[in-house]
Amino acid sequence: MTSRSLPTNATLADLGEFGLVDALKERFPQGDNVLLGPGDDAAVVTVPDGRVVVSTDLLVDTRHFRRDWASALDIGHKAAAQNLSDINAMGGRATALTVGLAAPPDLPATWALELADGIVEEAGLVGASVVGGDVTRSDQVMIAVTVLGSVEGEPVRRSGARPGDVVAIAGRQGWAAAGLAVLARGFRSPRALVEAHRRPEPPYGAGPVAAAAGATAMIDVSDGLLGDVAHIAEASGVAIDISAGSFEVAEPLRAVGAALGADPMRFILTGGDDHALVATYPAGTALPDGWTRIGEVAEGSGVTVDGAAYEGPAGHTHF
Amino acid sequence: MTSRSLPTNATLADLGEFGLVDALKERFPQGDNVLLGPGDDAAVVTVPDGRVVVSTDLLVDTRHFRRDWASALDIGHKAAAQNLSDINAMGGRATALTVGLAAPPDLPATWALELADGIVEEAGLVGASVVGGDVTRSDQVMIAVTVLGSVEGEPVRRSGARPGDVVAIAGRQGWAAAGLAVLARGFRSPRALVEAHRRPEPPYGAGPVAAAAGATAMIDVSDGLLGDVAHIAEASGVAIDISAGSFEVAEPLRAVGAALGADPMRFILTGGDDHALVATYPAGTALPDGWTRIGEVAEGSGVTVDGAAYEGPAGHTHF
Do the domain assignments include residue B319?
A: no
Closest Cα in chain A, distance from residue B129 (Å): 13
B178-200 pLDDT, tens per residue? 999 999 999 888 999 999 999 99
Cα separation of B308 and B269, whole Å?
13
- A146 shares a domain with A172: no
> Which residues of chain B are within 8 Å of residue A101 when distances are taken between CB atoms?
58
Residue that is last in its domain, among B98, B124, B150: B150
Does residue B151 sit at the A interface (CB-CB below 8 Å)?
Answer: yes
pLDDT in the model for residue A18: 84
Do the domain assignments include residue B16?
A: yes
pLDDT in the model for residue B5: 62
pLDDT in the model for residue B315: 54
The separation between CA B227 and the C-alpha centre of its own chain, rounded to angstroms, equals 15
Do the domain assignments include residue B2?
A: no
- B46 shares a domain with B176: no
Domain count, chain B: 2
Residue B2's pLDDT band, with cuts at 50, 70 and 90, is very low
User: Higher model confidence: residue A264 or residue A319?
Assistant: A264
- B174 shares a domain with B124: no
CB pairs under 8 A between A and B: 231
- A171 shares a domain with A139: no
Closest Cα in chain B, distance from residue A290 (Å): 21
Cα separation of B121 and B243, whole Å?
36
pLDDT in the model for residue B18: 84
Non-local CB neighbours of A281 within 8 Å, separated by 6+ positions = A165, A166, A168, A210, A213, A214, A215, A216, A287
Nearest CA in chain A to B60: A138
> Which residues of chain A are within 8 Å of residue B157 when distances are taken between CB atoms?
36, 40
Q: Do B155 and A92 touch (CB under 8 A)?
A: no
Do the domain assignments include residue B6?
A: no
Amino acid making up residue B240: I
Please report the residues numbered 38 through 67 in chain B whose beta carbons come closer than 8 angstroms to any beta carbon of chain A: 39-48, 50-60, 63-64
For residue B51, give Cα distances in angstroms to A147, B93, B134, B148, B242. 15, 12, 25, 10, 34
User: Higher model confidence: residue A283 or residue A187?
Assistant: A283
Residue A317's pLDDT band, with cuts at 50, 70 and 90, is low
Q: Do A55 and B36 touch (CB under 8 A)?
A: no
pLDDT in the model for residue B138: 96
pLDDT at position A302 over 80: yes
Cα separation of A202 and A274, whole Å?
6
- A127 shares a domain with A89: yes
Please report the residues numbered 227 through 266 in chain B whose beta carbons come closer than 8 angstroms to any beta carbon of chain A: 235
Do the domain assignments include residue B44?
A: yes
pLDDT at position A315 over 70: no
pLDDT in the model for residue B280: 98
Q: Do B42 and A132 touch (CB under 8 A)?
A: no
Q: Tell me the average pLDDT of chain B.
A: 93
B86-128 pLDDT, tens per residue? 999 999 999 999 999 999 999 999 999 999 999 999 999 999 9
Instruction: Name the strand (E) or helix (H) holding A47.
Output: none
Does residue A17 sit at the B interface (CB-CB below 8 Å)?
Answer: yes
pLDDT in the model for residue B17: 86
- A183 shares a domain with A109: no
Residue that is last in its domain, among A118, A151, A184: A151
Half-sphere exposure of B88 (CA within 13 A, CB side): 28
Q: Do A47 and B47 touch (CB under 8 A)?
A: yes
Q: What is the ipTM of this complex?
A: 0.92
B140-154 pLDDT, tens per residue? 999 999 999 999 989
- A112 shares a domain with A203: no
- B210 shares a domain with B117: no
Cα separation of A82 and A313, whole Å?
22
Cα separation of B275 and B272, whole Å?
7
pLDDT at position B3 over 80: no
B251-289 pLDDT, tens per residue? 999 999 999 998 999 999 999 889 999 999 999 999 999
pLDDT at position B314 over 60: no
- B174 shares a domain with B101: no
Closest Cα in chain B, distance from residue A109 (Å): 11
Question: Using alpha carbons only, what angle is made at residue B318 by residues B314 and B319, rounded to the nearest 5 degrees?
Answer: 120
- B226 shares a domain with B137: no
- B102 shares a domain with B35: yes
pLDDT in the model for residue B8: 77
The answer to whether residues B145 and B79 touch, using CB atoms and an 8 Å cutoff, is yes
Do the domain assignments include residue B314?
A: no
pLDDT in the model for residue A49: 87
Convert chain B into a string of H (helix), E (strand) and C (coil).
CCHHHCCCCCEHHHHCHHHHHHHHHHCCCCCCCEEECCCCCCEEEECCCCEEEEEEEEEEECCCECCCCCCHHHHHHHHHHHHHHHHHCCCCEEEEEEEEEEECCCCEHHHHHHHHHHHHHHHHCCCCEEEEEEEEECCCCEEEEEEEEECCCCCCCCCCCCCCCEEEEECCCCHHHHHHHHHHCCCCCCHHHHHHHHCCCCCCCHHHHHHHCCCCEEEECCCCHHHHHHHHHHHHCCEEEECHHHCCCCHHHHHHHHHHCCCHHHHHHHCCCCCCEEEEECCCCCCCCCEEEEEEEECCCEEEECCECCCCCCCCCCC
Which of A45-49, A137-141, A183-187, A311-315 is the least confident region?
A: A311-315
Q: Tell me the average pLDDT of chain A.
A: 93
Which of A43-52, A93-102, A307-316, B63-72 is the least confident region?
A: A307-316
Q: Which residue, B207, B313, B319, is CA-closest to B262?
A: B313
CATH number, domain at B15?
3.30.1330.10
pLDDT, average across residues B34-57: 94
Do the domain assignments include residue B45?
A: yes
Cα separation of A319 and A314, whole Å?
16
The answer to whether residues B142 and B59 touch, using CB atoms and an 8 Å cutoff, is yes
CATH number, domain at A239?
3.90.650.10
The β-bridge partners of B57 are B145
pLDDT in the model for residue B113: 95
pLDDT in the model for residue A1: 38
pLDDT at position A2 over 80: no
pLDDT at position B162 over 60: yes
pLDDT in the model for residue B284: 95
Do the domain assignments include residue B91?
A: yes
Residue A246 is given by DSSP the state G
Q: Which residue, B151, B93, B99, B87, is CA-closest to B130?
A: B99
- A184 shares a domain with A116: no
pLDDT at position B1 over 70: no
Which range of residues forms the domain containing residue A274? 166-305
pLDDT at position A312 over 70: no
> Phi and psi (nearest 5°) for A182?
-65, -50
